[in-house]
Structure 1
């Protein structure tokens, strides 16, 4: 089932939060954060890493005409566990 609230299933106190679920949100470790949720059912795991360099706000004086560069690497894995 897909919905507009799908990303909020991991957010505490959200209307879309799954019943009987446990959520963990990591601390910020050098710009890397993580979220995990487990409910009685399939277990899904995803990882995203993003680096941004030379990002300037709009209107910033940039005489060297430096460019913005973004590198993104994402890895996702899904594992299912059936309960009997």
Structure 2
């Protein structure tokens, strides 16, 4: 998996939703999950995550996450540190 510049793609998914309670990671309604997007590297995903988290700062139950998709797609590859 490389992008057009020859650099290895380390895909990251940013998504979030409202949690049932603050002690876990159980979402209130899976139909209401906010899929922010898939990003080519951790830095870009982190920027998107911060923006969405800031927008929802008034709702304590709203949480956003970064999923390291490249680790799921190729679990044997250890080149991506983030």
Higher strand residue share: 1
Fold shared by both chains (TM-score > 0.5): no
Which structure has the greater CA radius of gyration? 1
Larger RCO (CA within 8 A; separation ≥ 6)? 2
TM-score (norm 1): 0.29
